Amino acid sequence: MNEIKNEIKADLFEYLLRLGDDRLILGHRLSEWCGHAPILEEDIALANIALDCIGQANAFLTLAAAVENNNRTEDDLAYFRDETEFKNLQLVEQPNIDFAYTITRQFFIDAFAVHLYDELSKSIVEDLSGIAAKALKEVKYHLRHSRQWVLRLGDGTEESHNKIQNAINDLWMFTGELFFENDVDKKLIQEGIIPSTKSVEQKWKEVIESALTEATLKIPDDSNTNLRSGRNGDHTEYLGHILAEMQIVARSHPGAKW
Amino acid sequence: MVNLNLHLQEIKNILKNIPDPEIPVINIVEMGIVRDVEFIDNELVVKITPTYSGCPAMKAIEDDIVSELKSNGIENISVQKIFTPAWSTDLLTDEAKRKLKEYGIAPPEGKAENEFYRDLITKPIECPYCNSRETKLTSQFGSTACKSLHYCNSCQQPFEHFKCI
C-alpha cells in the first residue's frame, strides 16, 4: 500500500466504510431476489449483480481494515459492527417491495456508482483507484441493465408505467443523500483522494433526466430529500432487520470457519 | 523450504495444470488470472487477479494453487490477490479463446478497449456451434457474471458468450 498521511487515515477509513457498506447492504438486498425474480433471466441477472456488489464490498472493506490497522478484518467490519456504525446510504437499505422499486433503487445507485468510481479510478491512493477501476467495468453493465428496465417499464403498459412512477416518487427523497458531504469529504477532496461531490452530482442528474424523459416518466420535485443521513449512522428501520439476518451466524459462532 | 532450483517458468508450467473452476477446459494461466510469480525472501508469491470482483471461484483457485504447488514439493507459498491492472478479456490467449469456442462458449470478440460495453443487441455475437451471426441476446447476465446469454436463430441453440471487459 502506498504511504497515506497519518492525519487523514481516520477520514479515509470512514470513507472506505461508506463505499464498502453501500455495496454490502445493496448486495444483500438484491440477493433476496434469488429464486423469486419475475423471469429466470432476471433472477440470474439480479443474483449476478448482487455477487458483484458483495465482491466490491469485500475489496473496499479489506482496504478499510488495512488503513485502520487495528487488528480487524473485512469480516469483522461486516459482521461485528452495529447499526449506527454502518455508513451506507439509506437508499440501499430500502426494501425490494416489487420489481419496479428494485429497478428504480438500482438505477439511482448505478448512475451514481458509475460516475463516482470513474472519478475514484483516478485517485492518488493506488489501492483505491485499482478497486474503483475494476468495479467501474462491472457497474457500467449494471447501469445498462437497470436503465433498459426503466425504459421498458416506463414506456410499457399503463400498469408498469404507474408502478415505476410510484417507485420513483417514493424513493426520490433518498437521492439527496447521494451527494452528502462533510469534513471527511472536504479533507479527502483537498488531498486529491476523492472527487468533488458536485462533479458527480451533475453527471448523475444528466443520466437520470435523460432516462426518465425517454421513459415518459416524471422527475419529482427536488425539495423532498431526507435530512438525516446514513453517512452519519442514521438509518431507516430496515437496516436493523438486514443486519440481524446477515450477522446472526457470525455472531452466534464467532471465529467459525467452513 | 522453497526449492530454488525450480525456475519461475517451471512454476508457471505447474500452475497450468490448474483448470478454471467454472470453465474447466482452460487453465488459470491462459485465463490471465495468474499475473505474476516471484520469490520474495524465500517465499514463493503467486499474484492472482479476479475476473470479476465477486468471482466466487477465487477461494477455490487459491486453494488449488497451494495444493498443486505443494504436491510438486514447494512449501513456502503465499497467494496474493491484486486488482491493478484490472483483469481484462484481452489477457485470454488465442489458444484459450479457441478452447472456449470448442466448449460451446462464444469467446470475446476483439479487444476490450474497442468492444467493452459492446451493444449486444445491434451487434450480434457469432454462434460458437454454426458460426452464424443470426443470433440474439436473451440476457446480459449468464450463469456467471462474465457471460451473457444468447440464442442462435440459425441452429436454434442457446449459447453463452464471454463478455469483453
Per the document, the length of chain B is 165
CATH number for A6-220+228-252 (one of 1.20.1260.10, 2.60.40.1260, 3.40.50.300, 3.40.190.10): it is 1.20.1260.10
Q: Residue B118 has which C-alpha cell?
A: 459492446
Tens-place pLDDT, residues A159-181: 999 999 999 999 999 999 999 99
- What is the 3-class SS of A163-208, one letter each residue? HHHHHHHHHHHHCHHHHCCCHHHHHHHHCCCCCCHHHHHHHHHHHH
What are the structural domain ranges in chain A? 6-220+228-252
Q: Is the pLDDT of residue A152 over 70?
A: yes
Of B82, B85, B145, the CB nearest to A48: B145
Give bridge partners of residue A108 from the DSSP assignment. none
CB burial class (10 A; 0-12, 13-18, 19+) of residue B109? middle
Q: Tell which CATH classification among 1.20.1050.40, 3.30.300.130, 3.40.50.1100, 3.40.190.10 matches the domain B8-87.
A: 3.30.300.130
Question: Mind listing the pLDDT tens digit for each residue in A114-140?
Answer: 999 999 999 999 999 999 999 999 999
Average pLDDT, chain A: 94
Question: In this model, does residue A78 exceed pLDDT 80?
Answer: yes
Distance, in Å, from the CA atom of A176 to the CA atom of A167, rounded to the nearest integer, reads 16
Identify the DSSP state of A222. Answer: T
Name the residue ranges covered by the structural domains of chain B. Answer: 8-87, 92-162
Q: Do A130 and B82 lie within an 8 Å CB cutoff?
A: yes
How many Cα atoms sit within 13 Å of B33 on the Cβ side?
28
Burial class (CB in 10 A: 0-12, 13-18, 19+), B70: exposed
The whole-number average pLDDT for the span B127-155 is 92
Taking a C-beta distance cutoff of 8 angstroms, is the pair A248, A101 a contact?
Answer: no
The minimum CA-CA distance between B45 and chain A, rounded to whole Å, is 16
Contact A204, A112 (CB under 8 A): yes
Please name the residues in contact with A190: beta carbons below 8 A apart, sequence gap of 6 or more.
Answer: none
Task: Please state, in angstroms and as integers, the Cα–Cα distance from residue B140 to each residue in A153, B74, B131, B148, B160, following that order.
Answer: 17, 42, 20, 5, 10
Taking contacts as CB-CB distances below 8 angstroms, the residues of chain A near B56 are 51
Q: What is the pLDDT of residue B144?
A: 82
pLDDT in tens, A205-214: 999 999 999 9
Are A55 and B116 inside 8 Å of each other by CB? Answer: no
- The pLDDT value recorded for residue B1 is 47
